[in-house]
Chains A and B, each alone.
Chain A
Amino acid sequence: MSVLVWIEHIEGKPAASSLEVLGQARAIADGLQVPLYALVLGTDTGAETDSVAANVANYAPDAVLTLTSPELATYRLGVYAEALKAAIAAQDATVILTAATTQGRDVCAAAAFDLDAGLAPDVVDLRVEDGQFIAVRAIYSNNILADITFSGPRSFASVRPRAFPMPSPADNAAPITPLAFELPADVVTETVLESRVVGGGEISLTDARIIISGGRGVAHDPVRGFTLVEELAKTLDAAVGASRAAVDAGYVPYKHQVGQTGKTVRPDLYIAAGISGAIQHLAGMSGSKIIVAINQDASAPIFERAHYGIVGDLYEILPALTAAAAKRLG
């Protein structure tokens, strides 16, 4: 029996969301009194897999497992699911965790379905109670929580980014153990013809600690409005979000949309400028630690969910905030 965490990596570094899961997995493994393994998948050429594994070794797993193959050079669900299953079999993993990125959700679910095991997708909490592993799901678009328990020998969960804090690295490093991997001949998978990173350099909404969002309130001069949002975001190292009204009006691309049919985010700080606070917007951001609303209408519903509010014109308040933040943060 063991706890196994799949660690995704980007540009030679482990993904923050995967390390968050690994941090909490330590507590789960201790609670179940079983070892904790971190799994790094990658190509067998170049040093990327090794340097990621060396980095992950400092985050308190009992060992880092590396599984390499030319087949794992680019992400393909069909192949990555086989690799995860190979590691599960090798270590007799009984609790299998991934970050709830799209890849993490898909790979976790595929392995769970193949092994006829219970699955809890996109969980917001994990714990051990009376020797039993429990995962907490948010359903009905974050309006209902439920404790999930599992029957059968294996439990699978993908964990929502920022559900747990980023752990700090330790001085001592866990051993790194390479595992053999042979892709089964009959595996059905996709062929990747072309792949490119989009929006490189931007902070992703789901990983962001701070998000500044703009809404239809910028309609008077959308270009200037979103420039002001971006300037504040830059000063605070924040990601840019938007309401659906702003996206539908073409002020910013869909990938910035927060809410029911956009992204679910849970930053430490969410600043909503010119956003009224419709239920479908709240569904995506009400898990934020501190919510600030800037709106010229004192009766806007967003103020009922906010911790701090400023009634005012966003064209005046946003630049004043950028200036005040720049002054105080140096």
Chain B
Amino acid sequence: MKIAVLIKQTPDTAELPKVSAEAVSTHNVQATMVINPWDEFAAEEAIQLAERFNAETVAISLGPAEALDGLKHALAMGVDAATLIDSGADPNAIDLSAAAKILAAAVQAEGDVDLVITGKQSVDGNSSAAQVGIARKLGVPLVTNVVKVVDIADGSATVERLADGIQETVQVALPAVLSVGKEINEPRYPNFMGIRRASRAQIPTRELDELGLGDLAPLTQWANIRKPESRRTQVQMIEGSSPADKAEKLVDALLAEKVI
């Protein structure tokens, strides 16, 4: 069995508020880049499933050369191999539709992949759409927000998913795509041996035109990229002689704001 895990390299979440509109427009975000936090759960699950069901694992990332670091993190955790798909000179030209086509082709290029595992969402793109796009382009079933892989046997996977207040046990025929939620596992920290192995690993890079893709023209355009309006920042501190006094003043203020 072969498992592909999709890894995106994203800004450190502590630096997201500092990202400027101009940097996003010119695709020149200067931030400490790390493995997308949600993708650590995907990598961990791939490693655990490989141990449980005797599979080989490969991590795939679409991005610039710096995305190699995210792949190295996955290798250091224990993923067997990795491939980088070079996003090319103008990453802005890759919209959700193009990314889905590229990632689906990248999975196909790995040979007989039985299971594709993705994170729930990227902390920069925030779209939770790559998993859907890859499954639809590959023409295989998708289960999102998986919180437990119960079993993989006889060409199908049985999993539990949790979404919109409903917990389900779902069965899909393989190959299939699963996106995983945070409840699924506790991602490991890479150990020294893992880091050393990852630093020595040769990670092949594929160019977009090697994937034999057709039309990748974007279907959406972005304009007026901006920061959200900065809100009223002056806080009104409620003073009072006792907790009860403060509480009453706050309740009065909230009634005046018409929010209670």
Q: Do A and B bind each other?
A: yes
A-to-B contact residues, CB < 8 Å: 75, 77-78, 101-103, 105-106, 109-110, 112-114, 116-122, 137-152, 188-200, 204, 209-210, 236, 254-255, 260-261, 268-269, 279-280, 282-283, 286-287, 289-290, 292-293, 303-313, 316-317, 319-321, 323-325, 328-329
A121 touching B142 in the complex, CB below 8 Å, given contacts A261-B182, A305-B233, A308-B250: no
Which residues of chain B are within 8 angstroms of A114 by Cβ–Cβ distance? 136
Interface of B is mostly: mixed
Contacting pair A151 B220 (CB below 8 A): yes
Structural contact, A78 and B97, CB atoms closer than 8 A: no
Contacts of B163 in A (CB 8 A): 101-103
1/0 per residue B214-258: CB within 8 Å of A? Answer: 000111111111111001110111100011101110111111010
Q: Which residues of A contact B191 (CB under 8 A)?
A: none
Is A269 a contact partner of B259 (Cβ separation < 8 A)? Answer: yes
A141 touches B144 (CB 8 A): no
B142, A77: Cβ atoms under 8 Å? yes
Residues of B within 8 A of A (CB): 11, 13-14, 16-17, 19, 21, 24, 37-38, 95-97, 100, 123-129, 132-133, 135-137, 139-145, 158, 162-173, 182-183, 217-228, 231-233, 235-238, 242-244, 246-248, 250-255, 257, 259-260
Q: How far is the CB of A229 from chain B (nearest CB, A)?
A: 15
Residue of B at shortest CB range from A293?
Answer: B235
Q: List 19 A-B contacts (CB under 8 A).
A: A77-B144, A102-B163, A103-B163, A112-B97, A117-B219, A119-B129, A137-B126, A140-B16, A140-B126, A141-B123, A150-B221, A151-B218, A190-B142, A193-B171, A261-B38, A303-B235, A308-B237, A320-B244, A324-B250
Does A325 contact B220, Cβ atoms closer than 8 Å? no
Q: Is the interface of A mostly helix, strand, loop or mixed?
A: mixed
Write out the residue numbers on chain A whose beta carbons fall within 8 Å of the beta carbon of B242. Answer: 320
**CA A267 to CA B158, docked complex, whole Å:** 36
Contacts of A321 in B (CB 8 A): 247, 250-251
Tell which of B17, B219, B247 touches A152, judged by Cβ atoms closer than 8 Å.
Answer: B219
CB distance from A329 to the nearest CB of B (A): 7
CB distance from A177 to the nearest CB of B (A): 27
- Name the distance in Å between B117's Cβ and chain A's nearest Cβ: 16
A191 to B156, CA, bound (A): 11
B13, B144, B145: which has the most chain A beta carbons within 10 Å? B13
Chain A residues positioned under 8 Å from B254 (CB to CB):
269, 290, 292, 308
A6 to B18: give the CA distance in the assembly, Å.
Answer: 37
